[in-house]
Amino acid sequence: MKNFPFRAAVADLSPPCREDWYLLKWLRARKFDLDDATKMLREHIAWRKKYQVYTFLDDYKVPELFRNHCPGGFVDCAPGGQPVYISPTGNADIKGLLEAASRSDFIRHLIYILETQEELKRRISLQNGGRRVETMYVVVDMEGFSFWQLSSIEVVSTITEAVRIYEANYPEILEVAYVINAPSLFPMLWNIVKPLLSPRTISKVNIFGKDGWKDVLAARFDVERLPAHWGGRLRGPDGDGRCTHLICPGGPVPEKYRRKWCGTEGTRTCTVGAGCCWSLPVSVDHAGSELRWNFNTASGDVAFSVRFRPFRHTTDGEKKTRDLVVAKRLPSSNSEPHSGSLCCNEPGTYELVFDNSFSWLTRKKLSYSVELLPPDAQRKKPDDAAREVKD
């Protein structure tokens, strides 16, 4: 395909994109729109270079926390040789993971998983005499999932960031995804994720409740190599049907991993009076900066929000303030802080507002820390890569 127009459009990229199968997946992801596919691939190559993703598998060491408590693992049970990733997501303590590690750590581990499947496909293709393996299967087991985890802004933000990284940088890698044991409230989670997925990806997702999925998995995969817990016959040591030697089961994150926050360097305290509201203004000079915060109260709840006020006046002469994070009452968090972050898309004053106006009798002792990362600083590592992905 020497005269392949897309090849000519990206001929200047380094490393060169020579193989037709590789170029085609970017075209498919953008419905064969040459301009859109070219833009997507160029942004992806720049992303890989900027965040050293080309050497990620060599540089990244899986932390003990994720090795022992982030559910999931690869098994070799697809007749076509595709990697199969089984994730007991229902058993994930996502809030616990984010209390023990940063969102950046979480995203780094996601990139590790995605790069691992790319390396597995490369090896399998070589073993198949060059017959290209381009896709993978995913089984997401929602058994036991607790929707209290979605009450955390940080959990929801991390999920959406992870999906954006996947969609922007790993197109057309999904053969089929099976979501099994989906609880009755699963549509709540699906409605968060679905708008971020391409129609092609959505069409490959099959959702099951408690019944009907075992026969489907048994028909799709080699049952001799599919773990018994998911409809196959494979068992691990001591007859373990979940094959936890291959698939991390997840589970609650032990207290020993959780970050000790109160009293650490950079933490400040103040008292929000009864019936009062206190705000912390942060001046942001450069668009693309990232504002991060942690806070807790010794006892009682406080409403938290973030407001923005531009430096410049609008055409009618006013500096119009707008809400970026809607006010929400948050309970006392003891030693576990409420955490969050946002990308500052324009210069101005960003106010972190702590509202105790609803409490006429009780003042609240507040501990907080705030960090402002300039654009260059927040883009040194692949863990922050999703912030470059454009809507």
Q: What pLDDT, on a 0 to 100 scale, did the predictor assign at position 31?
A: 92
pLDDT score, position 28:
93
Nearest to 85 by CA among 113, 108, 123, 107: 113
CA distance 37 to 284: 34
Cα–Cα distance between 213 and 182 in angstroms, integer? 11
**Residue 261 pLDDT:** 46
Residue span(s) of the chain under CATH 2.60.120.680 come to: 268-309+322-371
- Enumerate the CATH 1.10.8 domain ranges in the chain, comma separated: 5-50
Distances (CA, A) of 149 to 228, 316, 369: 28, 43, 23
Distances, alpha carbon 17 to alpha carbons 6, 12, 13, in Å? 10, 9, 7
Asked if residue 257 has pLDDT above 60, the reply is yes
- CATH number at 5-50: 1.10.8
Fold designation for 268-309+322-371? Jelly Rolls (2.60.120)
For the domain made up of 60-257, give the CATH fold: Phosphatidylinositol Transfer Protein Sec14p (3.40.525)
Cβ within 8 Å of residue 64, ≥6 positions away: none
CB contact set of 332 (below 8 Å; sequence gap of 6+) = 296, 297, 298, 299, 300, 301
Pairing of strands 84-87, 136-141: parallel
Q: Angle formed by the axes of helices 153-169 and 186-193, to 10°?
A: 50
Q: What is the pLDDT of residues 87-113, one digit of tens each?
A: 999 999 998 888 788 777 888 899 999
Please state whether 266 falls in left (phi above 0), alpha (psi between -120 and 50) or beta: left
Q: Which residues contact 24 (CB under 8 A, 6 or more apart)?
A: none
pLDDT value for 158: 86
Residue 195 to residue 157: CA distance in whole angstroms: 14
| Contact between residue 136 and residue 86 where contact means Cβ atoms under 8 Å apart | no
- pLDDT average, residue stretch 158-184: 95
Instruction: Tell me what percent of the residues of the chain surpass a pLDDT of 90.
Output: 59
For residue 107, CA distances in Å to 51, 110, 133, 241, 357 come to 12, 5, 25, 29, 37
pLDDT at 309 over 80: yes
Share of the chain above pLDDT 70, in %: 90
pLDDT confidence of residue 378: 45
Domain with CATH 3.40.525.10 in the chain: 60-257
Scanning the structure block, which residue is given the tokens 């581990």? 109
Q: What is the pLDDT of residue 16?
A: 74
What interhelical angle do 153-169 and 103-127 show, nearest 10?
A: 30
Name, of 106-120, 284-298, 309-323, the range with top average pLDDT: 106-120
Question: Under a CB-based contact definition with an 8 Å cutoff, are residues 70 and 124 in contact?
Answer: no
Burial of 343 from C-beta contacts in 10 A (0-12 / 13-18 / 19+): middle
CA torsion 129→8→390→289, rounded to 10°?
Answer: 100
Calpha distance 179→315 (Å, rounded): 50
DSSP secondary structure string for all residues of 257-318: GSPP-TT-TT-EEEEE-TT-EEEEEEEE-STTEEEEEEEEESSS-EEEEEEEEESS--TTS-
Does pLDDT of 292 surpass 70?
yes
Q: Which helix (H) or strand (E) holds 50?
A: helix 34-50
**Angle (CA) 200 203 206, round 5°:** 145
Residue with tokens 């064969």: 32
More confident residue, 317 or 30: 30
Contact at 8 Å (CB) between 291 and 369?
no
Burial class for 383, CB neighbours closer than 10 Å (0-12, 13-18, 19+): buried
The answer on pLDDT for 227 being more than 60 is yes
100 closest CA partner among 268, 250, 215, 253: 253
pLDDT in tens, 335-377: 567 888 898 999 999 999 999 998 887 888 888 999 888 885 4
